[in-house]
């Protein structure tokens, strides 16, 4: 009996893209259901009644929610092309830095681009400090997972796309080859990896979307 794998996501969400990348690296066939979060489908509300958001992975009729939880589920369910390191300490470190990304790095990047005045200044300082900590984790490796893309690469994959979109909109550049040579090389390697490169959302649509968001934020201030 064939497995049923469906992914509920939006066209632009970096959290949904994490699941896309993991499934592609694992060579898992799946069906994509694109959601409009301004008009959520009954299926999405049924499968994620707590948070009512994407992504949701549906495996043989059973829903799994939250991108990091979904990545762990994919790793445990399909053993080929492992995403997490073999040794327990290394696995714990990957999970630690994934949580750092969610709790510290991502909010500081958002503040840098979508806040103004003192909040933005503080966001930039924090973001640069956080990016430095992340760069140190590469430690001469091609990917955070070593020679191959792993769990932490997927969690941080949005760094290869979103900051450059925000930069084009705002003119603020956080990541460049002079300040972050190792991280910049990782961005190039990750962005163009065969399992990744064909799944980026259209850049022109991304710029239009986030320009509208920024305009709305500024209009409400």
Q: Convert the pLDDT of each residue in 94-132 to its tens digit.
A: 999 999 999 999 999 999 999 989 999 999 999 999 999
In a domain, 83, yes or no: no
Q: Does pLDDT of 73 surpass 60? A: yes
What's the pLDDT at 139? 86
Question: Do 173 and 101 share a structural domain?
Answer: yes
Instruction: Please tell me whether residues 110 and 180 are part of one structural domain.
Output: yes
Are 73 and 178 found together in one domain? no
CA distances from 37 to 79, 110, 158 (A): 32, 20, 20
187, 129: one domain: yes
Domain span at residue 210 reads 88-219
Domain-embedded: residue 82: no
Residues 181-208, mean pLDDT to the nearest whole number: 97
96 and 162, same domain (yes or no): yes
In sequence order, what E strands does the chain have?
Answer: 5-9, 31-34, 56-59, 62-65
Domain boundary among 22, 53, 77: 77
Choose one of 77, 100, 126: the last residue of a domain: 77
End residue of a domain, out of 77, 109, 137 = 77
Segment 19-24 mean pLDDT: 98
The CATH number of the domain holding residue 115 is 1.20.1050.10
Largest CA distance in the chain: 58
Q: Which strands sit side by side in the sheet containing 56-59, from one edge to the other?
A: 31-34, 5-9, 56-59, 62-65
What is the three-class DSSP state of 202? coil
Strand 62-65 and strand 56-59: the pairing is antiparallel
Do 119 and 195 have their domain in common?
Answer: yes
Q: Which two three-digit tokens encode residue 43?
A: 């299926």
170 with 196, same domain: the answer is: yes
Q: Is residue 211 part of a domain?
A: yes
Q: What is the domain count for the chain?
A: 2
Q: How far is it, in rounded angstroms, from Cα 184 to Cα 90?
A: 23
Give pLDDT tens digits for 163-192: 999 999 999 999 999 999 999 999 999 999
Is the pLDDT at 1 greater than 70, yes or no?
A: no
Is 173 within 8 Å of 128 (Cβ atoms)? Answer: no
My answer on whether 119 and 184 are in the same domain is: yes
* Shared domain check, 63 and 103: no
pLDDT of res. 2: 66
Whether 207 contacts 165, CB under 8 Å: yes
Q: Are residues 144 and 55 in the same domain?
A: no
Residues 78 and 81: their CA atoms lie apart, in Å, by 8
């Amino acid at each position: 009996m064939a497995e049923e794998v469906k992914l509920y996501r939006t066209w632009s969400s970096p959290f949904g893209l994490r699941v896309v990348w993991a499934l592609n690296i694992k060579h898992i066939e799946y069906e994509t259901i694109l959601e409009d979060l301004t008009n959520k489908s009954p299926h999405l509300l049924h499968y994620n009644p707590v948070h009512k958001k994407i992504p949701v992975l549906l495996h043989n009729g059973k829903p799994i929610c939250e991108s990091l939880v979904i990545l762990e589920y994919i790793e445990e369910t399909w053993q080929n092309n492992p995403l997490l390191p073999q040794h327990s300490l290394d696995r714990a470190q990957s999970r630690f830095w994934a949580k750092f990304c969610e709790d510290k790095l991502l909010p500081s990047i958002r503040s840098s681009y979508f806040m103004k005045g003192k909040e933005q200044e503080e966001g930039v300082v924090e973001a640069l400090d956080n990016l430095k900590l992340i760069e140190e984790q590469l430690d001469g490796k091609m990917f955070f997972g070593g020679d191959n893309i792993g769990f932490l690469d997927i969690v941080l994959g949005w760094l290869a796309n979103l900051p450059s979109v925000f930069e084009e909109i705002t003119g603020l550049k956080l990541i460049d080859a002079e300040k972050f040579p190792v991280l910049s090389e990782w961005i190039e390697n990750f962005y163009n990896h065969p399992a990744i490169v064909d799944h980026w959302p259209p850049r022109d649509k991304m710029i239009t979307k986030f320009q509208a968001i920024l305009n709305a934020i500024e209009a409400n201030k």
